[in-house]
Amino acid sequence: MKWKDKRDVLVLSTKHSVRFVEIIKRGQVVKKPQIVLEYNKAKGGVDLADQMASYSTPLRKSIRWYKKIALDMLLNIAMINAHVLYQSVTKTKIKVTDFRVAILKSFCAKQQADEPALTRPKRQKHILVKLDGPSRMTRRNCGECYKMNVKNLGRLQARNKTKKVNTFCSVCPEKPILCHDCFFKLHF
């Protein structure tokens, strides 16, 4: 229903009909919709909650409208309800903004106490070790050079062009055969 008082008022209700009631305002008889009269009687709590929520709203212009609605419903209304409950239980007066700051500080403090500081896991020191035995018997193709040559040249040429080495990484689980260059590329 659309009704004009000082400005247009749009109201939607499933309970009320479009019925006008005569009231006396400043000595004159004025017709007002019944839905508006009932809203004005009960709006005290709604207006107070809206007023309290507007003091320190987290809503910003850059947020899309549907996110604003969700944020307002979830954060603002929950925060105002918590503020009212807190004041009624503790019998203390506290500003809404101070209450929000206290809540946020307590969340941050709990999270810092619960989670240990992130530390980097200690890196195992990789070591390039020479294979035992005579060089001509232990030499093999460097695994990384071979992979790169297969990509660029193909299998047949990669077999002949790849460096033959007798060193491997003793820490890696697969114990890959690597030349010095590939070892340092992989591990440092």
Q: Where are the domains of the chain?
A: 1-53, 56-111, 128-187
Q: How many CB atoms lie within 10 A of CB 147?
A: 14
Q: Please report how the helices 180-187 and 143-153 are oriented relative to each other, as an axis angle in degrees rounded to 10.
A: 100
Task: Report helix, strand or coil for 62.
Answer: coil
Provide CB contacts within 8 A for 107, sequence distance 6+.
Answer: none
CA 157: distance to chain centroid?
Answer: 51
Is 30 in contact with 17 (CB distance < 8 Å)?
no
Q: How many CB atoms lie within 10 A of CB 186?
A: 14
Is 164 in contact with 141 (CB distance < 8 Å)?
yes
Is 165 in contact with 177 (CB distance < 8 Å)?
yes
Q: How many CB atoms lie within 10 A of CB 75?
A: 15
Each residue's pLDDT expressed in tens, for the chain with a length of 188 residues: 677 777 777 777 777 778 888 888 888 888 888 888 887 777 666 666 666 666 666 555 666 777 777 777 777 778 888 888 999 999 989 988 889 889 888 888 866 666 666 665 566 788 899 988 888 788 999 999 999 999 999 999 999 999 999 999 998 889 999 999 999 998 87
**Residue type, position 60, single letter:** R
Q: Give the residues across from 164 on adjacent strands.
A: 141
